[in-house]
Structure formats: C-alpha cells, structure tokens
Amino acid sequence: MRHPATPATRRTALTLFGAALAATPFLKPAAATASVRATGLDHPAKKEIAMQLVSSAENSSLDWKAQYQYIEDIRDGRGYTAGIIGFCSGTGDMLDLVELYTDRRPGNVLAKYVPALREVNGSDSHAGLDPGFPGDWRRAARDTAFQRAQDDERDRVYFGPAVRQGKADGLRVLGQFAYYDAIVMHGDGTDPLSFRNIRRRALRTAKPPAQGGDEVTYLDAFLDARVWAMKQEEAHSDTSRVDTAQRVFLRRRNLDLNPPLDWKVYGDSYHIG
C-alpha cells in the first residue's frame, strides 16, 4: 500500500526548482569535513540506503526498484502519482519525465500522452490519459531506458540538490538524507512549507557545522522544523518517517547511516543489515 505521504506542497514551484536549484546550491560549499569528503549520501552504498529509507515511507517496502511501475491516483488533488519518487501528472515533474524519456526513445508507449500531460498539469484531471495511461506506464516501466529516465529526473530535481546543500552546510550522511527526504515530500520554492523554508526555520535556532554550529543540535532543529511543516497538512500529519526513523538514527549519533539500521514508519518495522 502506498501511504498518502506523497508530496503535497513540493511541486508549487517545481519548474523553478528543477531549472535553477538543481544547477546551483543554496550556499557556496564551505570547506567540507573529512567525513563529508570521504563519504556522502551520493556514495553508491549510502545512496542505496537512502532509496530504501524513502521507499519504506513512500511505498511500505524496501524494494524501491519495484516502484518504477507503480501508478495510482491517491486522491490528493495531484492526478496520477507514479514511479520511484512519486512523479505526479498534476504537478509538472511527470511531464518532464515523459518528455525526457521521449527525447531519448522517440515513439515510446508514453509519447502519445505528452499533449495530455501538458493540458492536465496543475490539476487532478485525467483528461486524455484514461483509460490507457496506467497500463502504458507499467509497460514503459519494463524498459530500462524509462527506468534510467526516472533515476535521472530523481537525481536532477531531488537527490542532487539535497546532497549539494547538505554538503554545503557541512552535514554528514544523515543530514544529507534528512534534506533529501524533505525535498521529496515538500519540494522547494517560495511555498512556506517548502524545503528551503523548513531549513530557514531551523536556522533561526541552530547553526549547521559550516557556520560553526554543532551537527546534532542543528539536525535536531531541522527535524523539529520538518515536523512542524508536516503537521500543517492532513496528508502529512503522520510524522513517523521523522519520529521513529530519522530521529532514531540521530539519537544513536549514527551520522553516517552505518548499518545495521532499524526503524519504523507508520508502525511497520524495517531493517537494513
């Protein structure tokens, strides 16, 4: 079952976020600590852990690669939600993904839906998509080129910017993951519940290591700000992906997300050995 924790405000300014933020971090990176230089969330082993952690919250499964074919309207006002990161037909990132896939593989099974995706962007409408789009999405998901396109859009719009900002703030792997999970849910832009505004809220009470602050203290403040943002929306009011996952790792001072990892989301238990 996919829990209704898929992004609510994250795409309010997705076009600006993808075009500008993905290319430029919020801050110029300060001198990184040795641990950040040595291993970041973009290290293949750590990135795999990040994908599993997000999938546990978004899809109730550690098998994130099984989600390429996922598609459903979860009735959150954003049309179809699909794929490994919850691309939505009503918010622009699904359109960007299908356009990328079509550029790389013209005539693919989803190419015919590009005009409809442009029309429904910004709404929950299925006009021009039903009845064939869900089945065609699942068929496309068997194509490694479509899987690669999903990976690339995830990295361009969400993962890459989060890791860059985390490193700029002097954060280790856990902090970079906290940023990534926040961007997955909330996106970025001018929305008061966006990632950058969650970060700004945290900066009111604590400084990140790059500004001379204590890493644990800052991450605690960031997670407080994240929980506040989640509680502003009914769809995100279950904050267990922070309370019984990220805070567990923080309390244990596991700032590099070293296995074994044990956590809970929505009451379900997970383990990475």
Last residue of a domain, one of 114, 141, 168: 141
Position 179 confidence tier, pLDDT thresholds 50, 70, 90: very high
Question: Does 24 reside within a domain?
Answer: no
Kind and range of the H or E run holding 88: strand 87-88
Domain check: are 176 and 253 in the same one?
A: yes
Domain check: are 52 and 84 in the same one?
A: no
Position 223 confidence tier, pLDDT thresholds 50, 70, 90: very high
**Burial level of 107, CB count in 10 A (0-12/13-18/19+)?**
exposed
Domain check: are 175 and 245 in the same one?
A: yes
Q: CATH code at 129? A: 3.30.386.10
Lowest-confidence segment of 7-21, 44-58, 129-143, 161-175 by average pLDDT: 7-21
Domain check: are 98 and 184 in the same one?
A: no
Q: 42, 58, 169, 188: which is the annotated catalytic residue?
A: 58
8 Å CB contact between 168 and 28:
yes
Question: Does 20 reside within a domain?
Answer: no
Domain check: are 171 and 257 in the same one?
A: yes
Question: Does 134 reside within a domain?
Answer: yes
Q: 71 in helix, strand or coil?
A: strand
pTM across the whole model:
0.85
Mean pLDDT for the stretch of residues 119-140: 97
8 Å CB contact between 194 and 188:
yes
Position 145 confidence tier, pLDDT thresholds 50, 70, 90: very high
In the residue annotation, 130 being an active-site residue is answered as no
Question: Does 15 reside within a domain?
Answer: no
Domain check: are 136 and 185 in the same one?
A: no
Domain check: are 79 and 107 in the same one?
A: yes
Question: Does 125 reside within a domain?
Answer: yes
Domain check: are 130 and 262 in the same one?
A: no
In the residue annotation, 152 being an active-site residue is answered as no
Rounded CA separation 170/254 (Å): 16
Question: Does 121 reside within a domain?
Answer: yes
Question: Does 13 reside within a domain?
Answer: no
Domain extent at residue 244: 41-57+158-268
Instruction: Identify the pLDDT of residue 188.
Output: 81
Domain check: are 92 and 137 in the same one?
A: yes
Question: Does 234 reside within a domain?
Answer: yes
Rounded CA separation 102/191 (Å): 31
Q: CATH code at 211? A: 1.20.141.10
Q: 42, 73, 76, 191: which is the annotated catalytic residue?
A: 76
Q: Mean pLDDT for the chain?
A: 88
Domain check: are 132 and 163 in the same one?
A: no
Domain count for the chain, please give it.
2
Mean pLDDT for the stretch of residues 194-222: 98
DSSP string, 159-216: IHHHHHHHHHTT--HHHHHHHHHHHHHH--SSSTTSHHHHHHHHHTT---GGGT--HH
Domain check: are 162 and 213 in the same one?
A: yes
Give residue-wise pLDDT tens across range 58-97. Answer: 899 999 999 999 999 988 888 999 999 999 999 899 999 9
